A and B are shown apart, each in its own frame.
Chain A
Amino acid sequence: MIDIKKLSFGYRRKKLLFRNLNLSLRTGSIYGLLGKNGAGKSTLLKNMAGLLFPLGGSISVNGFMPKKRLPAFLQTIYFIPEEVYLPSLSVQQYVKLFAPFYPKFDEKQFYDYLALLNVDTRHKLNAFSFGQQKKIIIAFGLACNTQVLLLDEPTNGLDIPSKTQFRKLIASILSNDRIIFISTHHIRDLENLIDGVVIVDNGELLLNTSIADIGEKLCFKTVQETAGLPRILYSEESLAGIAVVTQNTDDETSKVNLEQLFNAVTQNTEITREIFN
């Protein structure tokens, strides 16, 4: 469980990135954290991991205050930053040196994940390409079996087959006692993967709800004319017609388009709030 109450944070006190941000994430879910460049996605993850400290408010992760960085807390989270660090060691040496810190680490799982992601384990870690290094860290992070997994732009540097494998992997490891929180601006990489969406913009939490809830309250469709449609939150012309996001007043069933959802929420903040609150 991650509970953020009235979080204020800024790299400078006079210019806050977050002001009184409230966010609650429950276990057993995969959340996608969406936001524009500079919206503070990585900063929010770093606050959760205890790498940055709130200026105001509180953060509780698994009952711990992250800023204390207690070993008991750090054992329950694994943070994969956008750029990864791997020392000049073999995969086996890396496991020997780093795995003991994580009591639930499963070596078999680790090698299975590596095989699934097509990583050859015979080389030194720092000799791998960036994409391969990222896969190793992802496999290691998943095999640590921590309760919270924080991933910052995990699909950056992955090729198309690896992205597919990544999605499969993430979906397969979710359990009722785990939270997976993925920050990305490659929204399409999260399609069919996440079951919760968190959108931040201008230091504010614009949306925190489940995909099911979004499907109930919003309708995503392509129409030829927009006249007569209820509350259009977003529209975009395409070859097939006009793609629109509207309030779902007729209990229609539609597939949530994350990119359109993001644009709808960031462009119509107030209407979105009315619909979801």
Chain B
Amino acid sequence: MNNLFEPRRFWWFFRKTILERPAQLIGFTAAILLLTFIFYSIFHLPARQWDGAQRISLFGGFIIGITLLASFVFAHFSTNSNGSAYLTLPASQFEKWLCAVVITGILFPFIFLSFYRIMDMAFVNYYHSHLDISKPDYKQLFNLAHVFTFDNIVSQNIWTLAGNFSGIMLVGALYFNKNALIKTALVFCGVILVLYGMNYLIAKSVFGNIEGTFPFIYVDIPMAKTLYHGGETFHAVSAKTEILIGVETGSVRLPTAVRKTFGIIVRYILPAFWYLLAYIRLRDKEF
């Protein structure tokens, strides 16, 4: 017997996971799809704000969905009986982890994005088909709506957030036995606040007078009012990376390789780290 992975055993476990709590998994997924549809409709219908509707519904539906789902798949530890039954069921820790990864990282995204694409195409096609081709502004109106692509910068940022949030929730569900979602969210907010505070203090010590900061994103520096153009606030990318001076732009940028590395870390390595940490935590889980 292979104690790490057996396809048949994995299938039993996967089937059990889905059918054991259909309301939580299937019902929840259906609710998220409905919510996404409502988001899209609300933001699109009144003002034909295609771009906004597409972004908000993708961001809201996908991020909320995958984050909550990730906190559900390991939610077996709120009671002694449920936790014991889960951990002593004869499947390997790897299979149990893989099942959570497949549901969160493959199945849900596949269902959600398929639904999203179909919904988006239906809305856009409906809009295009109801335009009057004889009108002079037809082309302009036609170009207002396009099917949202999944490889633009907005989508990429959404995938990055989804990968990190879902990974963090998987880990949190294995660290906190009860109310894992709330506790993990609180810890996450706490860490962000600490990062924000530290970033603010460091930025202040480096630049002196600053208006605002956000970790790894920007430092707002009010430029010398008397020397250059008074009172303007300029937006620079990351502390010490881009400083605007007067009407000129004096850029102190991070080397491209470092910026790329940072992007790769946030986009790929960090989510992979959370998912791997979830496996280690599950393997070492005592209950």
Which B residues have a C-beta under 8 Å from some C-beta of A? 1, 3, 6, 9, 12-13, 15-16, 19-21, 23, 79-85, 87-93, 95, 284, 286-287
Contacts and interface: CB of A to CB of B under 8 A. Distances in A.
B3 A87 contact: no
A258 interface: no
A70 B91 contact: no
B88 A85 contact: no
Given A74-B89, A81-B81, A98 B286 contact: no
Contacts of A205: none
B84 A51 contact: yes
A234 interface: no
Ranked 7 nearest A-B pairs via Cβ: A85-B81, A74-B90, A85-B82, A83-B81, A70-B3, A101-B90, A75-B90
Contacts of A79: 84, 88
Given A72-B3, A75-B90, A77-B88, A82 B80 contact: yes
Nearest to B3: A70
Nearest to A75: B90
A198 B130 CA distance: 81
Contacts, number: 78
Interface in A40-61: 46, 49-53
A50 B90 contact: no
A129 B19 CA distance: 22
A93 interface: yes
A87 B20 contact: yes
Given A51-B84, A51-B286, A53-B286, A101 B89 contact: yes
A16 interface: no
Interface string A83-101: 1110111000100011011
Q: Which of B84, B93, B284 gathers the greatest number of chain A CB atoms within 10 Å?
A: B84
A181 interface: no
A18 interface: no
Given A72-B1, A89-B20, A81 B92 contact: no
Contacts of B12: 97, 100-101
A239 B89 CA distance: 50
24 contacts: A46-B84, A46-B287, A49-B84, A49-B88, A51-B88, A51-B287, A52-B286, A70-B3, A71-B1, A71-B90, A71-B91, A71-B95, A72-B1, A74-B88, A77-B88, A79-B84, A85-B79, A85-B81, A85-B84, A87-B20, A97-B19, A101-B9, A101-B90, A102-B90
Given A71-B90, A72-B3, A101-B90, A93 B79 contact: no
Interface string A59-75: 00000000001111011
Nearest to B92: A71
Contact of A50 (B1, B3, B87): B87
Nearest to A83: B81
A144 B281 CA distance: 29
Nearest to A78: B88
A97 B88 contact: no
B79 A83 contact: yes
Contacts of A82: 80-81
B20 A50 contact: no
A93 B19 contact: yes
